[in-house]
């Protein structure tokens, strides 16, 4: 069945945050990402593909959500600059209760606003086995297309939770060490890092907010080379270095 004008309108609407909220759905593009999505229990509402992909994946053609589209028309819908074969529309997963265990290592994101950074952080956390991420309400939308793409499928496997960060940290400050990436912190490599705790990563330009800094129980600092002139690390890169050290220490 060919894609309809209404379905094209839906795909375009989902490129915006208000469209995703209105329709309770999000977009996934590209062969690898859609294959990752199809392997999850997330509900697929629409799968749109060009004839080339269709000929090699005939098992999907009979499904009620499958639609065919010409390549030139798909490229008009796609955010990819290079050729793309398929786009999927999926139902936004229902928010699950966020349980914090004493043994958990949790990542807390304080206003990470760049979608590419957020997606990379999610992918990094997945790599190092950190499955729970708490996001401040000012953090970018995890179902923004750039976040989904840069996470390379990790967003489908993680438990992400949006909340007011201050009350969350206050609630768990007695049971978990709250680590924060701070220029004023102690050299990360000279500290003993626990296997559990909450690791706070701050905003790309402003770092961890002053209010959240007051709740940090252990500031950590990634030392730079003595001859380096760089002022700071990208938030996603800093997160990678920190989680690698936690993984190494435990």
DSSP E strand boundaries for the chain? 25-29, 44-49, 66-68, 86-91, 105-109, 132-136, 159-163, 178-187, 197-201, 218-221
Q: Which pair of tokens denotes residue 248? A: 């190494």
| Distance (Å, whole) CA 193 – CA 250 | 8
Predicted pLDDT of residue 39: 92
Q: 100-114 burial, b for 16+ CB within 10 Å, e for fewer?
A: beeebbbbbbbbbeb
Q: How far apart are CA 60 and CA 219, in angstroms?
A: 51
Number of other CB atoms surrounding residue 198 within 10 Å: 25
| DSSP state, residue 176 | S
The predicted pLDDT at position 232 comes to 83
Phi, psi values for residue 51, rounded to 5°: -55, -35
Structural tokens at position 150: 């840069």
Does the CA dihedral 208-214-219-223 come out positive or negative? positive
pLDDT score at 177: 96
Which structural domains are found in the chain, ordered by start?
5-91 (3.30.1330.30), 105-249 (3.40.1280.10)
Tokens of 116: 């590419």
Grouped pLDDT means (10 residues each) for the chain, 250 residues: 93 96 96 91 95 85 90 87 85 91 95 97 97 97 95 95 96 95 91 92 94 96 90 91 88
pLDDT per residue over 68-86, tens digit each? 999 889 988 988 767 688 9
What does the DSSP 8-state code read for residue 165? H
**Contact 154/129 with Cβ under 8 angstroms?**
no
What's the pLDDT at 68? 92
Return d(Cα 145, Cα 147) in angstroms, integer: 5
Determine the pLDDT at residue 79: 83
**CA–CA distance from 45 to each of 25, 89, 94, 110 (Å)?**
8, 5, 15, 32
Percent of the chain with pLDDT over 70: 99
82-116 pLDDT, tens per residue?
768 899 999 999 988 899 999 999 999 999 999 99
Q: Is 229 helix (H, G, I), strand (E, B) or coil?
A: coil
């Amino acid at each position: 069945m060919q894609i309809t004008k209404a379905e094209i309108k839906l795909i375009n609407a989902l490129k915006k945050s208000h469209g995703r909220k209105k329709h309770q759905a999000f977009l996934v593009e590209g062969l690898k990402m859609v294959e990752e999505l199809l392997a999850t229990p997330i509900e697929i509402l629409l799968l749109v593909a060009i004839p080339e992909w269709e000929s090699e994946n005939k098992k999907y053609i009979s499904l009620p959500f499958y639609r065919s589209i010409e390549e030139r028309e798909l490229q008009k819908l796609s955010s990819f600059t290079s050729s793309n074969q398929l786009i999927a529309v999926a139902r936004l997963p229902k928010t699950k209760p966020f349980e914090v265990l004493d043994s958990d290592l949790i990542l807390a994101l304080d206003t990470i606003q760049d979608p590419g950074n957020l997606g990379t952080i999610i992918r990094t956390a997945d790599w190092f086995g950190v499955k729970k991420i708490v996001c401040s309400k000012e953090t970018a939308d995890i179902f923004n297309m750039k976040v989904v793409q840069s996470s390379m499928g990790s967003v489908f496997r993680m438990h992400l939770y949006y909340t007011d960060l201050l009350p969350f940290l206050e609630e768990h400050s007695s049971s978990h060490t709250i680590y924060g990436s701070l220029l004023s912190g102690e050299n990360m490599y000279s500290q003993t890092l626990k296997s559990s705790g909450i690791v706070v990563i701050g905003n790309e330009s402003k770092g961890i907010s002053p209010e959240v800094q007051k709740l940090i129980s252990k500031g950590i600092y990634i030392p730079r080379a003595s001859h380096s002139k760089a002022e700071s690390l990208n938030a996603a890169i800093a997160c990678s270095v920190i989680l690698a050290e936690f993984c190494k220490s435990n």
